[in-house]
Amino acid sequence: LREAGLGPGRGVAIRTGVSPEAFALHIAAHVAGCRVVGVRPGYAAGQLAQVLGTGVDAVIADAATPDLTAAAGPIPVVPIGKLMNGRPSFDVLGRPDDVALLAFTSGSTGRPKGCAFTYRALSGHWAWQPDAWGRVAMEFAAAFERYMLFGTLASMVVLEFLAPCLLGGGTAVIPEDDGRPLFPYAIERYGITGSIVTVPRLGQMLGLLRDEPANVGSLRALMVSGSPLGPHRLAEAVERLGPVVYNGYGQTEAGSVSMLTPADGMSPSVGRPHPGVEISVRAGEIQLRSPYMMAGYWDDPGETRDVLRDGWLRTRDLGRLDNDGHLHLDGRARDVVMVNAMVVYAGPIERVLAAHPDVAEAYVAGAPDEETGEAVHAFVVPADGRSPDHAALRALVQGELGADGVPRTITVVPGVPAAASGKPDKRALLAAYPPRL
C-alpha cells in the first residue's frame, strides 16, 4: 500500500470477497492510516459510481472487472494479489481524528449514505477491546469459537462480530459453496459454533430444518439482526436450535447498540445497551451516543446536522426503555403510511400482527390508494403448521391500534425477499404481490 503511495488521508476502496487476504488488506490499510471505503457486492452502476466518488485514490479488488473499471474511471484498480509481499515490519500511522472508515448504509430509505468513523472511534469500539469486555461479551466471544464468516467485509456487522471471534482465540470459517443452502448444512459440515443471520435467512433456515433435519448441535450462538424478530419466530428458533439465539439492534451509523441474550428468555426487547452506549428516548425516538458512533455523513453536512445534535445521534427509530433497561423497538420514524392525511406507523402494526400465534413474521408497506391517498398493506409469513385468519388479524390490529392501522389487504407469503443488505425488502414484496382489493 505504501509503495503505491497510499497512507494517511488517502482513500482506499476495497471490493473483494470474504477471504483471509481481504481481511489482512482491511487491517493493513488501517495500519497505513488510510481511509477505507467498503464496497458492497451487488451495487448498481450508479451506486458504485457514487461510492467510488468519495475521494478514493485507489480501488483494490479481487479482479479488475469491466463494471468496476468503468465506474472507477481514472482511479487505478489494483488486484489484491499484487499487494501481498509478506513484509513482517510496519509502523502504525493511523491518526485519531482522521477518518478511518466509510461504511455505507443499505439505502433502504434512499441513496446509500457514507458513515464516517474516525480512528479514535474504531479504537474505542467494544468489540476490539477485550480488556473491556463484560460477562456477556466474553460468553459471546467464547461461543464464536468457530464463526461461520460469509457476506461482505464491507458490512459493519460482519467486522464487529469477527473481532470477538479472533480476539477470543476462535477461528473464522469461510464455507465453500457445495450447492446446498448455507444454513443449516454448513453448520453440520464445519462444526460451526457461532454465526450471524438476518430474520429472512433465519426463516429459510428453519424451513429447511423442518423439511430435512440437520445436526446443528455444535451451534452455541446465533446472532439475529437487521430487523425486528417476532416472538413466534424466536420461539420456533429456540425450539429447533436450543437456547442459542441472540438478538440485537444497531445501525450503520452507530454499529451494534444492544444485545438480547439467551439468558433474557423470550423477552420482546432487543436487550440492553453495550457498555459505553447511552440511550435516551425523546418524543418516542431512540437517540444514543457512544465512543464509536460515526462522526457524520461523508460530504453531507446538512444531513449530518439533522441526525447529530449535541453529541447525540438521532436514530430515526421509534422505541422505549423498560424499567430493567431493555430497549424495545416500535418501528422506523420514516416508515409511515399516510392514510386520510393521518400518519400511520408501520412498526406498531407489524408488532401486533407478529404477536398473533398464527404469524411468524409480519411486514407492512404503503401503496397509493384513490380513496385514502395511501393504504396499509400487510404481508405475513405463517407460523409452522398455522393458517392465519385475515378477519382475526384485522380485529387484533383494530383492537390494539384503532381503525386507521387496519390493513386494507393482508397477503400470506411463504417468505420475504431480502435486499442486498440482507434486510427484508418491502418494495420487492409489493412488486411480487401487488395488492388486490
> 21-63, pLDDT tens digit by residue?
999 999 999 999 999 999 988 788 888 999 999 999 999 999 9
Neighbours of 67 (CB within 10 A): 11
pLDDT at 437 over 80: no
What is the reported pLDDT for 70?
Answer: 92
What is the reported pLDDT for 120?
Answer: 97
pLDDT-derived band at 212, boundaries 50, 70, 90: confident
pLDDT-derived band at 343, boundaries 50, 70, 90: confident
Class of domain 336-432: alpha beta
> 384-420, pLDDT tens digit by residue?
999 999 999 999 999 988 888 899 999 999 999 887 7
What is the reported pLDDT for 157?
Answer: 87
What is the reported pLDDT for 353?
Answer: 96
The percent of residues in the chain predicted with pLDDT above 70, rounded, is 98
Question: Which residues neighbour 235 within 8 Å (Cβ) at sequence distance 6 or greater?
Answer: 266
> 282-337, pLDDT tens digit by residue?
988 999 999 999 999 999 999 999 999 999 999 989 899 999 999 998 888 778 88
The percent of residues in the chain predicted with pLDDT above 90, rounded, is 65
pLDDT at 357 over 80: yes
Sheet holding 56-61, edge to edge: 77-79, 56-61, 11-15, 35-38, 99-104, 114-118, 296-297
Return the CATH architecture of domain 11-118: 3-Layer(aba) Sandwich (3.40)
Question: Which residues neighbour 137 within 8 Å (Cβ) at sequence distance 6 or greater?
Answer: 126, 127, 164, 274, 275
* pTM for this prediction: 0.84
> 169-181, pLDDT tens digit by residue?
999 999 987 777 7
What is the reported pLDDT for 107?
Answer: 63
What is the reported pLDDT for 109?
Answer: 54
Which carries the bigger pLDDT value, residue 86 or residue 235?
235
What is the reported pLDDT for 18?
Answer: 93
User: For the chain, which residues make up each domain, given as ranges?
Assistant: 11-118, 125-332, 336-432
Class of domain 125-332: alpha beta
Q: In whole angstroms, how far apart are CA 161 and each of 26, 116, 239? A: 15, 19, 24
> 133-174, pLDDT tens digit by residue?
888 899 999 999 999 999 899 988 898 899 999 999 999 999
Query: Quick check: do 11-118 and 125-332 share a fold?
Result: yes
Give the integer Cα–Cα distance in Å for 136 and 197.
19
pLDDT at 108 over 60: no
